[in-house]
Amino acid sequence: MTLTRESTARFVQVRQWRIHYHEAGSGYPLICIHGSGPGASGWSNYQRNVEALSERFRTILVDLPGYGQSDKVPIQGGRFAFYSRAVRDFMDALGMERAHFIGNSLGAGIALKLALDWPERVGRLVLMGPGGMLPVFSSQPSEGIKRLWDYYAPPGPSLEKLRAFVEIMVYDQSQVTEELIKERYEASIDPKVVANPPVGRQVSAQTEELWRDLPRVTHKTLVVWGRDDRVVPFDNAFILLRLMPDVRLHIFGQCGHWAQWEHAEEFNRLVIDFLTLPDSGRVS
């Protein structure tokens, strides 16, 4: 049976917030964390992956606070610290002791922060273009980050701004569907989001330098990058490859910031193979 947005939708109360998520499948938990772009949500980032992943795992696509259908709240303190605590509390609300994680961009940084602060809650990590890294060759801020910062800046959000941002996310422009543009634009102009944008030049939250603590992340990790990423360029991958103890790197050619979207079928196989790889004679 084909999974739908409606059939998989759930809500849970997490301390003072109501968190929305999608759930499908059974088995070892796998939490997928979306990026920070306007209109982002668990479903918008991972709708091309949830069917395949849920055949092997209890797959959860979470909407972070401030995104999707979750409560709209201002970020307090460091960006990765704030969201990682929210995900930890989300796990507690579901009675989930431990999970594998897939994170894209902001989501990958959140997964790393979870592994740093609560290592016992994290199984294996799949990181796509994580924030908080250190580029070797490329300049900062990137083209994509500039568009991200400017989206809610005066004169405010627009369909043209959203389209320009999403087109930077991918290498192949034909991958950008009108349905995706419409969905993300409508989510981005929710009055509660516009009143407290989760990202932008006006947001005071700091983005921590996670790269400094990478040697402490001992979890088995798969790093995935698009060679043509214009948001977090792939030279940021080298710092993870150099400093993380148990890491492997896969780079997709003709691929932007959304490897899970542009190369969904191959990405799904890659991730499933990695997450089910025996470790000391056991399969997680």
| pLDDT at 256 > cutoff 50 | yes
- Residue 128's DSSP bridge partners are 104, 224
Confidence bin at 236 (pLDDT 50/70/90): very high
Quick one: pLDDT at residue 44? Answer: 95
| pLDDT at 282 > cutoff 90 | no
Chain centroid to CA 155: how far?
A: 28
Question: Omega before 155 cis (within 30°)?
Answer: yes
Two tokens, residue 79: 């960006």
Q: Please list the helix, strand and coil fractions of the chain in percent, rounded to the nearest 5, in that order.
A: 40, 20, 40
Which comes out higher in pLDDT, residue 280 or 39? 39
| pLDDT at 283 > cutoff 60 | no
Quick one: pLDDT at residue 205? Answer: 63
Confidence bin at 281 (pLDDT 50/70/90): very low
Query: What is the average pLDDT across 89-100?
Result: 98
- pLDDT per residue as tens digits for the range 120-149: 999 999 999 999 999 999 988 899 999 999
Quick one: pLDDT at residue 284? Answer: 43
Which comes out higher in pLDDT, residue 113 or 195? 113
Confidence bin at 206 (pLDDT 50/70/90): confident
Quick one: pLDDT at residue 209? Answer: 92
Confidence bin at 39 (pLDDT 50/70/90): very high
Query: What is the average pLDDT across 244-272?
Result: 98
Which residues are the active-site residues? Answer: 257
Handedness of CA 131, 16, 122, 250 (dihedral sign): negative
Pairing of strands 122-128, 221-226: parallel
- pLDDT per residue as tens digits for the range 21-33: 999 999 999 999 9
